Amino acid sequence: MTIEIKPLETGTPIFVPSPDPQHPRVLLATRLFNDGHIDIEEASHISGETPDTLEKFFEQSGVLPRKRVLVCGGAGFIGSNFIHHILEKYPYYSVINYDKLTYAGNLENLRNVEKSPRYKFIKGDIADTETIEKLVQNEKINYIINFAAETHVTRSLLLRADEFLRTNVLGVHSLLEVVKRNPQVEIFVHVSTDEVYGSLDLDSQDSFTEDTAFQPNVPYAAAKAGGDMLCRSYHNSYKIPVIVTHCSNNYGPFQHPEKLIPNALFRALRNQPITLHGNGQHVRDWIFVRDHCEALDLILHKGKPGHVYNVGADVEKNTHEIARTVLKYLGKPEHLITLVDDRPGNDLRYSISPQKIKKELGWDTTVSFEEGIALTVQWYENNISWVDAIRERDKEFSKYI
Ligand SMILES: NC(=O)c1ccc[n+]([C@@H]2O[C@H](COP(=O)([O-])OP(=O)(O)OC[C@H]3O[C@@H](n4cnc5c(N)ncnc54)[C@H](O)[C@@H]3O)[C@@H](O)[C@H]2O)c1
Protein backbone atom coordinates (compact mmCIF):
# COMPACT_ATOMS: atom_id res chain seq x y z
CA MET A 1 0.00 0.00 0.00
CA THR A 2 1.29 3.47 -0.84
CA ILE A 3 0.55 6.55 1.21
CA GLU A 4 -0.05 9.70 -0.76
CA ILE A 5 1.54 12.72 0.79
CA LYS A 6 -0.25 15.85 -0.36
CA PRO A 7 1.56 19.20 -0.34
CA LEU A 8 0.23 21.72 2.19
CA GLU A 9 -2.35 24.00 0.69
CA THR A 10 -1.84 27.72 1.11
CA GLY A 11 -3.32 28.76 4.41
CA THR A 12 -3.16 25.23 5.92
CA PRO A 13 -2.12 25.74 9.54
CA ILE A 14 1.29 24.29 10.28
CA PHE A 15 1.26 21.98 13.31
CA VAL A 16 3.19 23.46 16.17
CA PRO A 17 3.57 21.27 19.27
CA SER A 18 2.06 23.10 22.24
CA PRO A 19 3.99 23.32 25.48
CA ASP A 20 2.24 22.00 28.57
CA PRO A 21 0.61 25.17 29.98
CA GLN A 22 0.71 23.74 33.51
CA HIS A 23 4.43 22.94 33.44
CA PRO A 24 6.06 25.09 36.19
CA ARG A 25 8.71 26.45 33.79
CA VAL A 26 6.09 27.37 31.20
CA LEU A 27 3.90 28.94 33.90
CA LEU A 28 6.83 31.02 35.18
CA ALA A 29 7.86 32.14 31.68
CA THR A 30 4.25 33.08 30.85
CA ARG A 31 3.82 35.11 34.02
CA LEU A 32 7.13 37.00 33.62
CA PHE A 33 6.46 37.63 29.92
CA ASN A 34 2.91 38.78 30.59
CA ASP A 35 4.12 41.23 33.26
CA GLY A 36 6.64 42.64 30.78
CA HIS A 37 9.73 41.55 32.80
CA ILE A 38 11.24 39.38 30.04
CA ASP A 39 11.15 39.16 26.25
CA ILE A 40 10.38 36.13 24.09
CA GLU A 41 14.03 35.00 23.97
CA GLU A 42 14.30 35.00 27.77
CA ALA A 43 10.92 33.27 28.07
CA SER A 44 12.21 30.62 25.68
CA HIS A 45 15.29 30.13 27.83
CA ILE A 46 13.25 29.73 31.03
CA SER A 47 10.60 27.42 29.55
CA GLY A 48 12.93 25.27 27.45
CA GLU A 49 10.67 25.82 24.40
CA THR A 50 11.84 27.39 21.14
CA PRO A 51 10.92 31.08 20.67
CA ASP A 52 8.69 30.15 17.67
CA THR A 53 6.72 27.53 19.60
CA LEU A 54 6.37 29.83 22.55
CA GLU A 55 5.28 32.78 20.43
CA LYS A 56 2.55 30.68 18.81
CA PHE A 57 1.49 29.38 22.21
CA PHE A 58 1.37 32.89 23.73
CA GLU A 59 -0.61 34.15 20.76
CA GLN A 60 -3.15 31.29 21.00
CA SER A 61 -3.53 31.73 24.74
CA GLY A 62 -4.02 35.49 24.42
CA VAL A 63 -0.74 36.43 26.13
CA LEU A 64 0.38 38.31 23.02
CA PRO A 65 -2.56 40.63 22.52
CA ARG A 66 -3.24 42.18 19.13
CA LYS A 67 -3.65 45.77 20.24
CA ARG A 68 -4.78 48.45 17.84
CA VAL A 69 -3.13 51.79 18.52
CA LEU A 70 -4.44 55.11 17.21
CA VAL A 71 -1.51 57.52 16.93
CA CYS A 72 -2.70 61.11 16.40
CA GLY A 73 -0.08 63.37 14.85
CA GLY A 74 2.03 60.37 13.82
CA ALA A 75 3.48 62.11 10.75
CA GLY A 76 5.40 64.61 12.92
CA PHE A 77 8.77 64.26 14.58
CA ILE A 78 8.08 62.35 17.82
CA GLY A 79 4.93 60.63 16.52
CA SER A 80 6.75 59.04 13.58
CA ASN A 81 9.61 57.87 15.82
CA PHE A 82 6.99 56.40 18.15
CA ILE A 83 5.28 54.51 15.29
CA HIS A 84 8.61 52.98 14.26
CA HIS A 85 9.24 52.04 17.89
CA ILE A 86 5.85 50.33 18.34
CA LEU A 87 5.92 48.43 15.05
CA GLU A 88 9.47 47.22 15.72
CA LYS A 89 8.85 46.21 19.32
CA TYR A 90 5.35 44.70 19.19
CA PRO A 91 4.91 42.33 16.26
CA TYR A 92 1.25 41.82 17.18
CA TYR A 93 0.23 45.47 17.27
CA SER A 94 -1.19 47.51 14.45
CA VAL A 95 -1.01 51.27 14.20
CA ILE A 96 -3.35 53.79 12.64
CA ASN A 97 -1.68 57.12 12.03
CA TYR A 98 -4.26 59.93 12.04
CA ASP A 99 -2.70 63.23 11.01
CA LYS A 100 -3.88 66.47 9.41
CA LEU A 101 -0.57 66.86 7.56
CA THR A 102 0.08 70.48 8.45
CA TYR A 103 3.43 71.95 7.35
CA ALA A 104 4.98 69.82 10.18
CA GLY A 105 3.53 66.48 9.06
CA ASN A 106 5.69 64.47 6.71
CA LEU A 107 4.76 61.01 5.42
CA GLU A 108 8.36 60.57 4.22
CA ASN A 109 9.13 59.82 7.90
CA LEU A 110 7.09 56.61 7.53
CA ARG A 111 8.20 55.51 4.08
CA ASN A 112 9.77 52.32 5.52
CA VAL A 113 6.52 51.09 7.07
CA GLU A 114 3.87 52.35 4.65
CA LYS A 115 3.48 48.92 3.01
CA SER A 116 3.22 47.03 6.28
CA PRO A 117 -0.17 45.34 6.81
CA ARG A 118 0.08 46.55 10.40
CA TYR A 119 0.21 50.24 9.45
CA LYS A 120 -2.46 52.52 8.03
CA PHE A 121 -2.51 56.28 7.43
CA ILE A 122 -5.69 58.35 7.59
CA LYS A 123 -5.64 62.07 6.93
CA GLY A 124 -7.77 64.00 9.42
CA ASP A 125 -8.08 66.62 12.10
CA ILE A 126 -8.22 65.77 15.81
CA ALA A 127 -10.81 68.53 16.23
CA ASP A 128 -13.21 66.49 14.06
CA THR A 129 -14.96 64.50 16.81
CA GLU A 130 -17.33 62.62 14.50
CA THR A 131 -14.63 61.23 12.21
CA ILE A 132 -12.44 60.12 15.11
CA GLU A 133 -15.36 58.46 16.84
CA LYS A 134 -16.19 56.43 13.70
CA LEU A 135 -12.54 55.52 13.34
CA VAL A 136 -12.25 54.36 16.95
CA GLN A 137 -15.37 52.21 16.58
CA ASN A 138 -14.72 50.79 13.10
CA GLU A 139 -11.07 50.02 13.79
CA LYS A 140 -11.76 48.70 17.33
CA ILE A 141 -9.07 50.92 18.79
CA ASN A 142 -7.62 49.84 22.16
CA TYR A 143 -5.08 52.61 22.80
CA ILE A 144 -4.92 56.27 21.76
CA ILE A 145 -1.81 58.42 21.98
CA ASN A 146 -1.89 62.06 20.96
CA PHE A 147 1.11 63.86 19.46
CA ALA A 148 -1.00 66.12 17.23
CA ALA A 149 -0.28 69.74 18.06
CA GLU A 150 0.90 73.05 16.75
CA THR A 151 4.38 73.00 18.27
CA HIS A 152 6.56 75.86 17.11
CA VAL A 153 6.87 78.63 19.71
CA THR A 154 8.09 81.27 17.24
CA ARG A 155 5.11 80.64 14.96
CA SER A 156 2.78 81.01 17.95
CA LEU A 157 4.35 84.44 18.54
CA LEU A 158 4.66 85.76 14.99
CA LEU A 159 1.36 84.43 13.69
CA ARG A 160 -1.93 84.62 15.55
CA ALA A 161 -2.31 81.71 17.94
CA ASP A 162 -5.74 80.61 16.61
CA GLU A 163 -4.50 77.31 15.18
CA PHE A 164 -2.65 76.60 18.42
CA LEU A 165 -5.87 76.97 20.40
CA ARG A 166 -7.90 74.98 17.88
CA THR A 167 -5.61 71.95 17.84
CA ASN A 168 -3.95 72.04 21.25
CA VAL A 169 -7.15 72.78 23.20
CA LEU A 170 -10.25 72.00 21.10
CA GLY A 171 -8.57 69.04 19.39
CA VAL A 172 -7.71 67.50 22.77
CA HIS A 173 -11.29 68.12 23.89
CA SER A 174 -12.58 66.13 20.87
CA LEU A 175 -10.32 63.19 21.72
CA LEU A 176 -11.48 63.26 25.35
CA GLU A 177 -15.12 63.24 24.26
CA VAL A 178 -14.47 60.22 22.03
CA VAL A 179 -12.70 58.36 24.85
CA LYS A 180 -15.56 59.22 27.23
CA ARG A 181 -18.16 57.77 24.86
CA ASN A 182 -16.17 54.66 23.89
CA PRO A 183 -15.17 52.63 26.93
CA GLN A 184 -13.38 50.02 24.81
CA VAL A 185 -10.49 52.54 24.67
CA GLU A 186 -8.32 51.17 27.45
CA ILE A 187 -5.96 54.13 27.73
CA PHE A 188 -5.47 57.59 26.23
CA VAL A 189 -1.98 59.10 26.57
CA HIS A 190 -1.81 62.82 25.89
CA VAL A 191 1.75 63.97 25.12
CA SER A 192 2.61 67.39 26.48
CA THR A 193 5.61 69.54 27.25
CA ASP A 194 7.65 70.92 30.16
CA GLU A 195 7.00 74.42 28.78
CA VAL A 196 3.62 74.53 30.56
CA TYR A 197 5.49 74.94 33.86
CA GLY A 198 7.07 78.26 32.85
CA SER A 199 10.63 79.35 33.59
CA LEU A 200 13.22 78.65 36.30
CA ASP A 201 16.06 80.98 37.32
CA LEU A 202 19.40 80.23 35.71
CA ASP A 203 21.15 79.99 39.06
CA SER A 204 18.49 77.88 40.83
CA GLN A 205 18.80 74.16 41.45
CA ASP A 206 15.03 73.59 41.15
CA SER A 207 13.36 71.18 38.73
CA PHE A 208 9.74 70.86 37.65
CA THR A 209 7.86 67.99 39.30
CA GLU A 210 4.39 66.65 38.49
CA ASP A 211 3.04 68.97 41.24
CA THR A 212 4.58 72.19 39.91
CA ALA A 213 1.89 74.76 39.05
CA PHE A 214 1.43 75.69 35.38
CA GLN A 215 2.83 79.14 34.50
CA PRO A 216 3.01 79.21 30.68
CA ASN A 217 4.74 82.26 29.18
CA VAL A 218 4.08 81.89 25.43
CA PRO A 219 0.85 81.15 23.51
CA TYR A 220 2.11 77.66 22.51
CA ALA A 221 2.67 76.68 26.15
CA ALA A 222 -0.63 78.25 27.26
CA ALA A 223 -2.54 76.27 24.62
CA LYS A 224 -0.79 73.04 25.66
CA ALA A 225 -1.60 73.79 29.32
CA GLY A 226 -5.27 74.19 28.32
CA GLY A 227 -5.33 70.72 26.72
CA ASP A 228 -3.57 69.20 29.75
CA MET A 229 -6.09 70.73 32.15
CA LEU A 230 -8.99 69.39 30.10
CA CYS A 231 -7.46 65.90 30.47
CA ARG A 232 -7.29 66.33 34.23
CA SER A 233 -10.91 67.54 34.36
CA TYR A 234 -12.18 64.64 32.21
CA HIS A 235 -10.48 62.13 34.45
CA ASN A 236 -11.87 63.73 37.60
CA SER A 237 -15.36 64.28 36.20
CA TYR A 238 -15.89 61.16 34.09
CA LYS A 239 -13.12 58.79 35.29
CA ILE A 240 -11.84 58.33 31.76
CA PRO A 241 -8.46 56.54 31.52
CA VAL A 242 -6.26 59.47 30.49
CA ILE A 243 -2.60 60.07 31.30
CA VAL A 244 -0.70 63.32 30.60
CA THR A 245 3.06 63.42 30.05
CA HIS A 246 5.41 66.41 30.16
CA CYS A 247 8.70 65.95 28.35
CA SER A 248 11.71 68.18 27.84
CA ASN A 249 13.29 69.17 24.49
CA ASN A 250 13.64 66.20 22.11
CA TYR A 251 16.19 65.79 19.33
CA GLY A 252 16.89 63.05 16.80
CA PRO A 253 15.90 61.88 13.30
CA PHE A 254 12.86 63.36 11.50
CA GLN A 255 12.78 66.67 13.42
CA HIS A 256 11.59 69.61 11.33
CA PRO A 257 14.50 71.96 10.52
CA GLU A 258 12.70 74.89 12.16
CA LYS A 259 13.85 73.49 15.55
CA LEU A 260 17.25 74.32 17.08
CA ILE A 261 19.39 71.20 16.58
CA PRO A 262 18.39 70.28 13.00
CA ASN A 263 18.44 73.96 12.09
CA ALA A 264 21.97 74.42 13.45
CA LEU A 265 23.06 71.25 11.66
CA PHE A 266 21.49 72.24 8.41
CA ARG A 267 22.96 75.75 8.44
CA ALA A 268 26.43 74.64 9.57
CA LEU A 269 26.59 72.03 6.82
CA ARG A 270 26.11 74.92 4.37
CA ASN A 271 28.53 77.26 6.23
CA GLN A 272 25.61 79.58 7.04
CA PRO A 273 25.39 81.43 10.39
CA ILE A 274 23.63 79.65 13.26
CA THR A 275 21.37 82.27 14.86
CA LEU A 276 20.71 82.09 18.60
CA HIS A 277 18.19 84.21 20.47
CA GLY A 278 19.48 86.66 23.09
CA ASN A 279 22.83 85.73 24.63
CA GLY A 280 22.52 82.01 23.93
CA GLN A 281 22.30 81.28 27.66
CA HIS A 282 18.75 79.83 27.67
CA VAL A 283 18.91 76.37 29.23
CA ARG A 284 16.86 73.41 28.05
CA ASP A 285 16.90 69.75 29.14
CA TRP A 286 17.73 67.56 26.08
CA ILE A 287 16.46 64.02 25.49
CA PHE A 288 17.06 61.69 22.54
CA VAL A 289 13.68 61.04 20.91
CA ARG A 290 13.87 57.23 21.12
CA ASP A 291 14.31 57.47 24.92
CA HIS A 292 11.13 59.55 25.02
CA CYS A 293 9.35 56.91 22.90
CA GLU A 294 10.42 54.17 25.31
CA ALA A 295 9.02 56.23 28.21
CA LEU A 296 5.71 56.68 26.36
CA ASP A 297 5.58 52.95 25.60
CA LEU A 298 5.94 52.20 29.34
CA ILE A 299 3.34 54.81 30.26
CA LEU A 300 0.93 53.41 27.65
CA HIS A 301 1.26 49.90 29.08
CA LYS A 302 1.87 50.48 32.77
CA GLY A 303 1.02 54.10 33.61
CA LYS A 304 -1.79 54.80 36.06
CA PRO A 305 -4.88 56.47 34.59
CA GLY A 306 -5.40 59.98 35.94
CA HIS A 307 -1.67 60.36 36.62
CA VAL A 308 0.87 62.78 35.19
CA TYR A 309 4.43 61.69 34.31
CA ASN A 310 7.39 64.00 33.69
CA VAL A 311 10.04 62.74 31.28
CA GLY A 312 13.55 64.19 31.02
CA ALA A 313 17.14 63.09 30.61
CA ASP A 314 18.89 65.34 33.17
CA VAL A 315 20.94 66.87 30.34
CA GLU A 316 20.76 70.63 30.87
CA LYS A 317 22.57 72.64 28.22
CA ASN A 318 22.19 76.18 26.97
CA THR A 319 21.64 76.97 23.31
CA HIS A 320 25.23 78.21 22.89
CA GLU A 321 26.60 74.87 24.14
CA ILE A 322 24.26 73.04 21.75
CA ALA A 323 25.43 75.10 18.78
CA ARG A 324 29.10 74.58 19.72
CA THR A 325 28.55 70.81 20.03
CA VAL A 326 26.98 70.64 16.58
CA LEU A 327 29.86 72.65 15.08
CA LYS A 328 32.42 70.41 16.78
CA TYR A 329 30.83 67.25 15.35
CA LEU A 330 30.79 68.76 11.88
CA GLY A 331 34.33 70.19 12.20
CA LYS A 332 33.02 73.72 11.55
CA PRO A 333 34.27 77.01 13.09
CA GLU A 334 32.55 78.60 16.12
CA HIS A 335 32.36 82.00 14.43
CA LEU A 336 29.30 80.67 12.57
CA ILE A 337 27.35 81.31 15.82
CA THR A 338 25.48 84.64 15.56
CA LEU A 339 23.44 86.18 18.38
CA VAL A 340 20.18 87.90 17.41
CA ASP A 341 17.50 89.78 19.39
CA ASP A 342 15.80 87.66 22.02
CA ARG A 343 12.30 86.48 21.27
CA PRO A 344 9.42 87.60 23.51
CA GLY A 345 8.62 85.43 26.53
CA ASN A 346 11.77 83.34 26.06
CA ASP A 347 11.96 81.19 29.20
CA LEU A 348 15.40 81.20 30.85
CA ARG A 349 15.64 77.63 32.03
CA TYR A 350 13.69 74.39 31.96
CA SER A 351 14.63 71.48 34.17
CA ILE A 352 12.37 68.49 34.59
CA SER A 353 12.56 65.85 37.29
CA PRO A 354 11.99 62.32 35.93
CA GLN A 355 12.04 60.76 39.43
CA LYS A 356 8.44 59.55 39.35
CA ILE A 357 8.68 57.62 36.07
CA LYS A 358 12.06 56.19 37.12
CA LYS A 359 10.76 55.04 40.49
CA GLU A 360 7.27 53.85 39.54
CA LEU A 361 7.80 52.48 36.03
CA GLY A 362 11.52 51.67 36.05
CA TRP A 363 12.26 53.90 33.06
CA ASP A 364 15.68 55.41 32.37
CA THR A 365 17.49 56.84 29.39
CA THR A 366 19.67 54.53 27.33
CA VAL A 367 21.30 57.06 25.00
CA SER A 368 23.81 59.60 26.37
CA PHE A 369 23.84 63.13 24.96
CA GLU A 370 27.11 62.42 23.13
CA GLU A 371 25.71 59.24 21.52
CA GLY A 372 22.41 60.93 20.69
CA ILE A 373 24.05 63.92 19.05
CA ALA A 374 26.42 61.68 17.08
CA LEU A 375 23.45 59.60 15.83
CA THR A 376 21.50 62.74 14.96
CA VAL A 377 24.37 64.42 13.10
CA GLN A 378 24.95 61.22 11.15
CA TRP A 379 21.24 60.91 10.31
CA TYR A 380 20.99 64.49 8.97
CA GLU A 381 24.25 64.15 7.02
CA ASN A 382 22.82 61.02 5.36
CA ASN A 383 19.41 62.59 4.77
CA ILE A 384 20.11 66.05 3.39
CA SER A 385 17.52 65.40 0.68
CA TRP A 386 14.86 64.95 3.41
CA VAL A 387 15.61 68.50 4.67
CA ASP A 388 15.81 69.91 1.13
CA ALA A 389 12.37 68.47 0.33
CA ILE A 390 10.89 70.26 3.37
CA ARG A 391 12.51 73.54 2.33
CA GLU A 392 11.18 73.11 -1.18
CA ARG A 393 7.66 72.31 0.06
CA ASP A 394 7.52 75.04 2.70
CA LYS A 395 9.37 78.03 1.26
CA GLU A 396 7.91 80.29 3.98
CA PHE A 397 9.54 78.38 6.81
CA SER A 398 12.80 80.33 6.99
CA LYS A 399 10.77 83.27 8.36
CA TYR A 400 10.05 81.32 11.53
CA ILE A 401 13.48 80.10 12.54
N1 LIG B 1 9.58 68.33 20.01
C2 LIG B 1 9.82 68.47 21.29
O3 LIG B 1 10.96 68.78 21.69
C4 LIG B 1 8.72 68.22 22.29
C5 LIG B 1 9.05 68.20 23.65
C6 LIG B 1 8.04 67.92 24.57
C7 LIG B 1 6.76 67.70 24.16
N8 LIG B 1 6.45 67.76 22.84
C9 LIG B 1 5.06 67.51 22.46
O10 LIG B 1 5.05 66.32 21.68
C11 LIG B 1 4.05 66.40 20.68
C12 LIG B 1 4.67 66.11 19.32
O13 LIG B 1 5.70 67.07 19.08
P14 LIG B 1 6.52 67.05 17.72
O15 LIG B 1 7.77 67.81 17.96
O16 LIG B 1 6.58 65.67 17.19
O17 LIG B 1 5.55 67.92 16.81
P18 LIG B 1 5.55 68.14 15.22
O19 LIG B 1 5.24 69.60 15.03
O20 LIG B 1 6.79 67.60 14.60
O21 LIG B 1 4.33 67.24 14.72
C22 LIG B 1 3.00 67.56 14.99
C23 LIG B 1 2.14 66.67 14.11
O24 LIG B 1 0.77 66.94 14.42
C25 LIG B 1 0.03 67.05 13.19
N26 LIG B 1 -1.13 67.91 13.45
C27 LIG B 1 -1.14 69.23 13.74
N28 LIG B 1 -2.41 69.66 13.93
C29 LIG B 1 -3.20 68.56 13.78
C30 LIG B 1 -4.60 68.35 13.89
N31 LIG B 1 -5.45 69.36 14.17
N32 LIG B 1 -5.09 67.11 13.68
C33 LIG B 1 -4.25 66.07 13.38
N34 LIG B 1 -2.93 66.22 13.26
C35 LIG B 1 -2.40 67.46 13.47
C36 LIG B 1 1.03 67.67 12.22
O37 LIG B 1 0.65 67.43 10.86
C38 LIG B 1 2.31 66.93 12.61
O39 LIG B 1 2.44 65.73 11.92
C40 LIG B 1 3.44 67.79 20.80
O41 LIG B 1 2.24 67.71 21.49
C42 LIG B 1 4.45 68.59 21.59
O43 LIG B 1 3.82 69.58 22.37
C44 LIG B 1 7.39 68.01 21.89
Per-residue model confidence as pLDDT tens digits over 41-94: 889 999 999 988 988 888 788 777 779 999 999 999 999 999 999 999 998 899
CA of 218 to the centre of ligand 1 (A): 16
- Whether residue 125 has its Cβ less than 6 Å from ligand 1: yes
Q: Is 194 an annotated catalytic residue?
A: yes
pLDDT per residue as tens digits for the range 243-285: 999 999 999 999 998 899 999 998 999 899 999 999 999 999 9
State yes or no: pLDDT of 241 exceeds 90.
yes
Mean pLDDT along residues 286-300: 98
- pLDDT, position 37: 78
User: Rounded to the nearest whole angstrom, what is the distance from the C-alpha of residue 208 to the centroid of ligand 1?
Assistant: 22
Confidence of residue 391 (pLDDT cuts 50, 70, 90): confident
Rounded to the nearest angstrom, the distance between the alpha carbon of 100 and the centre of ligand 1 is 11
What is the spatial distance between Cα 391 and Cα 266, in angstroms, rounded to a whole number? 11
pLDDT recorded at residue 13 = 41
Among 38, 60, 82, the domain boundary falls at 60
CB–CB of 76/104 below 8 Å? yes
Domain co-membership, 216 together with 314: yes
Task: Please give the Cα distance from 99 to 76 (Å, whole number).
Answer: 8
**Same structural domain for residues 253 and 320?**
yes
Q: Which domain holds residue 145?
A: 68-400
Q: Are 42 and 169 part of one and the same domain?
A: no
- Whether ligand 1 lies within 6 angstroms of the CB of 256 is answered as yes
Q: Is the per-residue pLDDT at 16 higher than 90? A: no
Compute the distance between CA of residue 54 and CA of residue 95 in angstroms, rounded to an integer. 24
Q: Are residues 112 and 228 in the same domain?
A: yes
Over residues 351-384, the pLDDT tens digits come to 999 999 999 999 999 999 999 999 999 999 999 8
Q: What is the pLDDT of residue 31?
A: 87
Q: Which CATH number characterizes residue 147's domain?
A: 3.40.50.720
Q: What is the pLDDT of residue 401?
A: 57
Give pLDDT, residue 66: 79
- 397 Cα to the center of ligand 1, angstroms: 16
- Helical pair 51-60 and 24-34, crossing angle rounded to 10 deg: 70
1 occurs within a structural domain = no
Atom of ligand 1 nearest to the CA of 247: 6
- Report the alpha-carbon distance of residue 142 to residue 126 in Å, rounded: 17
- Chain segment 136-150, per-residue pLDDT in tens: 999 999 999 999 999
Of 119, 143, 197, 220, the catalytic one is: 220
Specify whether 37 is located in the same domain as 174: no
Is residue 364 flagged as an active site residue?
no
How many distinct structural domains can be found in the chain? Answer: 2
Report the alpha-carbon angle 3-8-14, nearest 5.
110
Residue 73 domain flag: yes
Contact, 351 vs 208, CB < 8 A?
yes
Provide the β-strand partners of residue 205. none
Judge whether 11 lies within some domain. no
Domain boundary among 60, 80, 108: 60
Is residue 216 within 6 Å of ligand 1 at its C-beta? no
**Residue 21: predicted pLDDT:** 85
Question: Taking all residues of the chain, what is their mean pLDDT, rounded to a whole number?
Answer: 91
Does the Cβ of 99 fall within 6 Å of ligand 1? yes
CB atoms within 10 A of CB 397: 18
Say what the pLDDT of residue 5 is.
Answer: 43
Residue 16 lies in a domain: no
The pLDDT value recorded for residue 7 is 42
Where does the pLDDT of residue 36 fall: very low under 50, low under 70, confident under 90, or very high at 90 and above?
Answer: low
Let me know if residue 5 belongs to a domain.
no
Among 78, 231, 290, 350, the mutation site with the greatest number of ligand 1 atoms within 8 A of its Cβ is 78
pLDDT for the residue 2: 44
8 Å CB contact between 327 and 334: yes
- Tell me: do 37 and 111 sit in the same domain: no
Q: Are residues 75 and 34 in the same domain?
A: no
- pLDDT greater than 50 at residue 107: yes
15: in domain: no
